Structure 1
């Protein structure tokens, strides 16, 4: 049952705790439950991501990985628990001493901290690359057009597409479109970048170029990254920590060298064998 504006955030899920310390994790999932009908996708999930940390989520399809990203983007609502971002509740807000369902204004403000790159590029086909990148900063953040254009040019140079600024998406390859989508997300200057299987829609020969761009971003910026991928080599290269998901829970977590080199849980071993041997 959805929460009313005055209903405690704990109904019908578990009771949330106190607000995190301001110097604590940038992202905190606290006893988060997500259901689709009778299907429980996330089961009282607890996990944290520190500011500047790069965390990769791996696991079989349907294990809840993409749901985590969609919850952070407020594209889905939770059924229990609380999600905190930068010490503030994400999908809830404080009212009369309680956490209640967030207003649309609260959600709009919260979304400004988070950028997401999807499996599909989701570029506006009727707009040039320049406008695809500048529309958000100008109309959502209030950035003046000259600054937005300068930032767009810088980001396109970063992703190797400086000469495509006035092209339309239909004139670009899939890999180029995905690199524009990455630049568009970064143009909003998010604190957190979410990456959802960003190479899954690409032809195999285009995957390396996109992953190289993301490696460069990971190595040259302090942005917090939360990534869902089946590209295990990429996960090993960019991650500070890898979380293995299974049936809505964390089956195992650790640094990439441990997860990929010496996994402890049988479920992790069987998953990695299937992915790497496949």
Structure 2
């Protein structure tokens, strides 16, 4: 469902991703861990076309996201091509990114109506179902400012699901939440992962969540994957010394 083929990303003289190769199978939940600055969030930003690749190519379900064919050659994709491929991808951000001037219902219906071409009635029906799923059906007419941080993040998750994505990207979705709200949001995501066939690519510092929900965990350092393993293996018997020192630092164990 996702394939990075020799992807390079540079910001000026700094190489953030260095000939990166990895893939995510349909319906798989893959979590990226590693120190700050290792390139994890850049991967999500490339998939959302918020950044462009310096080299290599990115594919979503076999269709190239980063490039397009023109005649007999491939060239960097234009906005129109990227929008078509990107329709299949949703993202939940750290800071919720809800529209403050819109009520909760409109936050969930605006994009499906404008981008997917749904009727207002269909979009609102879907939105109410999703708000019920995330436990916020009573907040349908509230503004984001009237919600707690945990409630706003639940709305953001529902908004991403409203676009019926094949792929859902999660970028440190609990980092802006008070500690007592984290467990509820993670439990919701775990439930969605287990009850849908959505493909997940997740960046998180919540190691217990990564261990509980992931099919695979990728350890990043210096723009490269240093270890790729099932969570039981990576968290208990990592092969790479860099993984061991990272886990010791974040989990406080030897």
Measured against the shorter chain, the TM-score band is over 0.9
Q: Does 1:137 align with 2:146?
A: no
Would you say 1:183 and 2:158 are equivalent positions? Answer: yes
Give aligned pairs, total. 253
CA drift at 1:136? 0.4
Aligned equivalent of 1:253, options 212, 217, 228: 228
Q: CA shift at 1:171, angstroms?
A: 0.5
Q: Which runs of 5 or more residues in structure 2 are unaligned?
A: none
Separation in 1, partners of 2:93, 2:118: 24
Residue matched to 2:148: 173
Q: Distance in 2 between matches of 1:266 and 1:101?
A: 38
Query: Which residue number corresponds to residue 3 of structure 1?
Result: none
User: What is the distance in 2 between the residues matched to 1:81 and 1:70?
Assistant: 15
Q: Which runs of 5+ in 1 are unaligned?
A: 1-25
Alignment of 1:26-65 (within 5 A): 26-65=1-40
Match of 1:100 in 2: 75
> TM-score, normalization: structure 2?
0.98
Map residues 1-278 of structure 1 onto 2, 5 A cutoff. Answer: 26-277=1-252
- Structure 1 runs (4+) deviating above 3 angstroms are none
Distance 1:51 1:98 in 2: 28
Q: Distance in 1 between matches of 2:217 and 2:120?
A: 39
- TM-score with structure 1 length normalisation? 0.90
Query: Aligned equivalents of 1:197 and 1:34: distance in 2?
Result: 21
Q: Secondary structure at the match of 1:243?
A: strand
